[in-house]
Amino acid sequence: MTSAEKPSGGKARSSKPKAPTARRVAIVGANRIPFARSNGPYANASNQDMLTAAVDGLVSRYALQDEALGEVAAGAVLKHSRDFNLAREVVLGSRLAPTTPAADVQMACGTGLQAIVNTANKIALGQIDSAIAGGVDTTSDAPLAVNDDLRRVLVKLNSAKTVGQRLKLLGKLRPGHIVPEIPQNAEPRTGLSMGEHASLTANSWDIQRADQDELAATSHQRLAAAYDAGFFDDLLTPFLGQTRDQNLRGDSTAEKLGKLKPVFGGPEGTMTAGNSTPLSDGASAVLLATEEWAKAHKLPVLAYLTFSQTAAVDYVHGEEGLLMAPAYAVPRMLDRAGLTLGDFDFYEIHEAFASQVLATLKAWEDPTFAKEKLGRDEPVGTIDRAKLNVNGSSLAAGHPFAATGGRIVGTLAKLLAEKGSGRGLISICAAGGQGITAILEK
């Protein structure tokens, strides 16, 4: 080491450098605002407003006023350019100490869980002791961009030095320049919407309409029952008058859902507004820490985050469905954890579309998928449906993209805390052909 490389302050330390050690990562708490339908009660709320409400809900519940956490990590799928580091803006607008560092995360619908895993890894490696992680999304306040031609003129106008230069540039403006670029719920590389992609997958896996409607009705019924039982009382902060997820219809039945018209896949399609998630607004946040931090703050541990995995599929050149990456991520994660698909008390599979959940379950049960796609002699396994999304999921709650990970982690951590022991599996599909999964244990 040259003298210039020595740590400031003079002598190099004599003590042995510490090797990074894996520490247990505790889920200490979770909070979200009720989810709302697009252009509903949160139509005038921004991503910052909603995520700050979710974070400040944790601050109130766990007495974190002026607390400097190790990090806040969060993101949004759709966000304005003013929110370039949305997480940091949320810290500065919250009641946490402004000295809490913050990082922005983006992995489409995997954003919330990816933010949680990022901070969990830092806690495990001894880099931080506590964190809040989560996500937010609004389809009501989606950013509209000016089109490229107008942008070029405006940028040049900003640096024009003379009146003549400005007038010349203004003379280039055409009526078509004012047409904004509206964000599309579509894959940039295929131009197909998430629903159209899911419909192709539903056809290739032969997913029946009646099974999709049954799954959607169950999601509504279970979420309504969980609200009635008070399950969400300490997981939710009311926001703008909402105390429950606005999309929830506890009286949903497969029969009623069976009457809705197809919205994806043409007139013969099986996917409807009832068995697809609605466009939604909302935010969620999760408090993670070491066991020592939790103990020092006199906070009980709900559950531990023990494993996570990501996977991606080539939906552009290959035959694989856009939202099928969890079918690969889960078996990989099970192998790393030394577990089988049956070794869980709860399964939280994000319901982007009922058909997508059913296609994933079918892939895990399929010997050909196991052999040809996973290189396994046996299928991954079958899930006991009684343990799947026991308190409802995205079809009923709604799906503000980046907020779904925190909703699921909070729900599962509380389920495990109530049970007192056990293990839960989380699986989330994401745009871009990606998937992220995790295991929580108590």
- Tell me which residues are annotated as active site: 109, 399, 429
Residue 279 binds ligand CAA (CB under 6 A): yes
Interaction residues for ligand CAA, span 135-194 (CB under 6 A): 185, 194
Distance of CA 3 to the CA centre of its chain: 47
For 320, the token pair is 């694989």
Cβ nearer to ligand CAA, comparing 388 with 431: 431
Minimum distance, C-beta of residue 115 to ligand CAA, in the bound complex (Å): 14
Please select the residue that binds ligand CAA; options are 40, 278, 331, 398, rule is CB under 6 A.
Answer: 278
Minimum distance, C-beta of residue 432 to ligand CAA, in the bound complex (Å): 7
Minimum distance, C-beta of residue 137 to ligand CAA, in the bound complex (Å): 9
Kindly indicate which of the ranges 26-34, 50-58, 154-162, 248-256 contains the residues binding ligand CAA, using the contact rule CB under 6 A: 248-256
Please select the residue that binds ligand CAA; options are 135, 195, 282, 398, rule is CB under 6 A.
Answer: 195
Please select the residue that binds ligand CAA; options are 95, 156, 256, 387, rule is CB under 6 A.
Answer: 256
Minimum distance, C-beta of residue 308 to ligand CAA, in the bound complex (Å): 17
Q: Which amino acid is at 304?
A: Y
Minimum distance, C-beta of residue 355 to ligand CAA, in the bound complex (Å): 11
Please select the residue that binds ligand CAA; options are 286, 329, 352, 374, rule is CB under 6 A.
Answer: 352
Contact letters (x/-) for ligand CAA, 362-401, by CB under 6 A? -------------------------------------x-x
Cβ nearer to ligand CAA, comparing 69 with 438: 438
Kindly indicate which of the ranges 8-16, 50-58, 287-295, 423-431 contains the residues binding ligand CAA, using the contact rule CB under 6 A: 423-431
Residue 331 binds ligand CAA (CB under 6 A): no
Minimum distance, C-beta of residue 352 to ligand CAA, in the bound complex (Å): 3
Please select the residue that binds ligand CAA; options are 118, 237, 252, 309, rule is CB under 6 A.
Answer: 252
Kindly indicate which of the ranges 147-155, 255-263, 369-377, 419-427 contains the residues binding ligand CAA, using the contact rule CB under 6 A: 255-263
Please select the residue that binds ligand CAA; options are 260, 312, 337, 417, rule is CB under 6 A.
Answer: 260
Q: Cβ distance 147 to 177 under 8 Å?
A: yes
The 3 state secondary structure assigned to the chain is CCHHHCCCCCCCCCCCCCCCCCCCEEEEEEEECCCEECCCCCCCCCHHHHHHHHHHHHHHHCCCCCCCCCEEEEECCCCCHHHCCHHHHHHHHCCCCCCCCEEECCECECHHHHHHHHHHHHHHCCCCCEEEEEEEECCCCCCCECCHHHHHHHHHHHHCCCHHHHHHHHCCCCHHHHCCECCCCECCCCCCEHHHHHHHHHHHCCCCHHHHHHHHHHHHHHHHHHHHCCCCCCCECCECCECCCCCCCCCCCHHHHCCCCEEECCCCCCEECCCECCCEEEEEEEEEECHHHHHHCCCCCCEEEEEEEEEECCCCCCCCCCCCCHHHHHHHHHHHHCCCCCCCCEEEECCCEHHHHHHHHHHHHCHHHHHHCCCCCCCCCCCCHHHECCCCCHHHHCCCHHHHHHHHHHHHHHHHHHHCCCEEEEEEEECCCEEEEEEEEC
Minimum distance, C-beta of residue 157 to ligand CAA, in the bound complex (Å): 36
Residue 249 binds ligand CAA (CB under 6 A): yes
Binding site for ligand CAA (CB under 6 A): 108-109, 185, 194-195, 220, 249, 252, 256-257, 260, 263, 273-274, 276-279, 352, 399, 401, 429-431
